[in-house]
Chain A
Amino acid sequence: MSTLEEKIDEAKNLSMQIVKDSEEDRLMTLSVGPQHPGSGHFRFVIKIDGDYIVYVDPDPGYVHRGHEKMCEYRNFFQNIPHLERPVIHDSCNITYSYSLAIEDLIGITVPRRGQFIRAIASELNRLVYTEYWLAIYGIFLGHSTMFMWPAGDRELIIDLLERLTGHRVTHAFNIPGGVRNDMPYNFKEKCLTQVNYFEKRLKEYEHIFYNNPLLRQRTEGVGILSKEDAIKLGVTGSVLRASGVPYDIRKVEPYDVYDEIDFNVQYMKTCDSFARAYVPYLDMIESCHIIRQLLDKIPESGDVREKLLSNVKGPPGESFKRIESGRGALSYHIVSDGTSRAYRVKMSVGSFRNLLALPFLLVGSKLGDMPPIYWSLNYWPVEADR
């Protein structure tokens, strides 16, 4: 890509000829992570020339556990608990597309009430994940209130999910054929109250965080990922939508009941770190609307799952299903050879795809702009490593 080279040259020129030494002596190599608290379980090697980053080499893999290989040894149901480990905060979403792919292979449809409960769980999980991400984003920009508030408000939704699924974070709730159990007594009313309260809290984030002049100075105009570059790099989710592409899987390829739900695809055209931080926030507000509609439209009674044998088999074939998770498109490509185990499972996750934008954005920017850029990419190292 020519623009990348141009950016490198530009960065070099900016701090040129301060010391007239050889090129290598001028550069300092820094290893960010995996112990660095600002990077998660992830390391990237950067070279700086003065204050400018001229080289970035991401080195993921510190939490690689081979989930794709593990899937080849277990039947379709046994895969659920380990497949949600890559993103425990978004576990209903990461098992959602897996379940859809298996259902497509076997050729079954989930009962209508089950589809609604799935969508509710998945939207609640999106809130939990985004709150967690927002908390980290806040603390790495030095805004400790923005760490405390989302971390506290996240508990509201975790309580709801605990009532619904029985677990606080790793739910193992979505399974091929539907969901594990029905909604508990009085869940609808409880959910409505909590979500309404939560939405009020979200409005306050705007005052304390997004309108904060310090945050705006640090993020606006930083890390520009233009629409053309975003498309070329194939980024997804909030990173893509912050670059002006209104692409949301729930809208473009509605799965389950999403075609009956009325919602907007939130996107921004400023393409900077601020947009990438603001779009997930807008998504959370949109999620609250979606949850209310889902609760309104859910059938009063009915089955929540299609009962399947534990060693259920499908015809040989393959399936590719995707959903919109907290970090973007999350897709599974599953190849079956007709046995009760998958022949090959490939997870294509949002974090892994968005990682490509990291070197592109960091090269040419200042070292101080690293945290706002890195965390705005909505990158979850464990998910990318799988």
Chain B
Amino acid sequence: MDNQIESSPGKNSIYISHDILKSLVEKYNTKIKIVYDKRNRSKIMVEPENLVETAIFLRDHYGFDHAESASGTDYPKDNEIEINYHLGSYSNQDLLPYILVLSTKINRNDPKSNSLINIFPSVEYHERETYEMLGVYFIGHPRNERFLLPEDWADIPPLRKEFRIKGR
């Protein structure tokens, strides 16, 4: 049985990450911000209107094919919510150990963001979870509905910072 993965994975990932970030900066120049570039992990911040476009570019040019996770973080001080997509690849051998964090910041008072469900179907439940936990409405997602919380939940989204656990 040929159980070994072809070629040694991850060997080129560091070069690939430079390559990806460089081409993204060339394409979007000031509209994109590189937050960090560590070993096997990079994070880029894009404007909300460029989110879908960047995701399509990453999928088509570099073979990112699934999202490991999609989540949101609440920043009440800046009046912002940050949406993070952790993108990975199963098909591009060089990208196996690499995770690219595609993130965007949206207004906290009117939290709406474009859904990536048509580009990465694997974000479906993660986005739905973010909808109920942080109240972010995903434009284009077929079901912005309750998922994990009880059916009779009648409070603010629990992962917002002003939601306090009782007794704490």
Contacts and interface: CB of A to CB of B under 8 A. Distances in A.
Interface of A: 1, 60-61, 64, 66, 68-70, 73, 231-234, 240, 245-247, 251-253, 264-267, 317-318, 320, 322, 329, 331, 333, 335, 343-344, 346, 348, 352-353, 355-356, 385-386
Given A246-B3, A320-B86, A331-B69, A253 B122 contact: no
Interface string B15-33: 0000000000000000000
Given A231-B65, A356-B124, A253 B149 contact: no
Contact of B91 (A231, A246, A253, A317): A231
B5 A331 contact: no
A314 B146 CA distance: 35
Contacts of A355: 125
A62 to B, nearest CB: 9
B163 to A, nearest CB: 8
Contacts of B62: none
B158 A69 contact: yes
Contacts of A232: 65-66, 121-122
Contact of A343 (B36, B73, B150, B163): B73
Given A61-B150, A232-B122, 6 more contacts: A231-B65, A253-B40, A253-B96, A264-B4, A265-B5, A348-B71
Interface centre among A68, A245, A247, A346 (most CB of B within 10 A): A346
Contacts of A252: 5, 9-10, 96-97
Interface in B82-109: 84, 86, 90-91, 96-97, 99, 101
B168 A73 contact: yes
Contact of B3 (A266, A385, A386): A266
A348 B86 contact: yes
> What is the size category of the interface that chain B forms with chain A?
35 or more
Interface string B105-119: 000000000000000
Interface centre among A1, A253, A318 (most CB of B within 10 A): A253
B96 A320 contact: no
B90 A240 contact: yes
B3 A73 contact: no
A333 B71 contact: yes
B158 to A, nearest CB: 6
Contact of A60 (B40, B91, B148): B148
B83 to A, nearest CB: 11
A360 B123 CA distance: 15
B46 interface: no
A61 B148 contact: yes
B49 to A, nearest CB: 24
B136 to A, nearest CB: 14
A245 B3 CA distance: 10
Given A60-B148, A252-B97, A346 B65 contact: no
A235 to B, nearest CB: 8
Nearest to B98: A253
A70 B168 CA distance: 10
A348 B121 contact: no
A169 to B, nearest CB: 24
B121 A233 contact: yes
B125 A331 contact: no
A234 B120 contact: yes
B3 A69 contact: no
A246 B41 contact: no
Nearest to A245: B90
B154 interface: no
B68 A322 contact: yes
Nearest to A346: B71
Interface centre among B9, B69, B149, B150 (most CB of A within 10 A): B69
A266 B3 CA distance: 6
19 contacts: A64-B149, A69-B165, A70-B165, A232-B65, A234-B121, A234-B122, A246-B5, A252-B5, A252-B97, A253-B97, A264-B1, A264-B4, A333-B84, A344-B71, A346-B69, A346-B71, A353-B68, A356-B124, A385-B148
B27 to A, nearest CB: 24
Instruction: List 10 A-B pairs, minimum CB-CB distance, nearest first.
Output: A234-B122, A234-B66, A348-B69, A253-B97, A264-B3, A61-B148, A252-B96, A346-B71, A64-B148, A344-B73
Contacts of B40: 253
A251 B90 CA distance: 13
A229 to B, nearest CB: 9
A267 B3 contact: yes
A348 B97 contact: no
B10 A331 contact: no
B90 to A, nearest CB: 5
Nearest to A68: B159
Nearest to A240: B90
A266 B2 CA distance: 10
Contact of A320 (B10, B99, B121, B158): B99
A231 B66 contact: yes
Contacts of B3: 246, 264-267
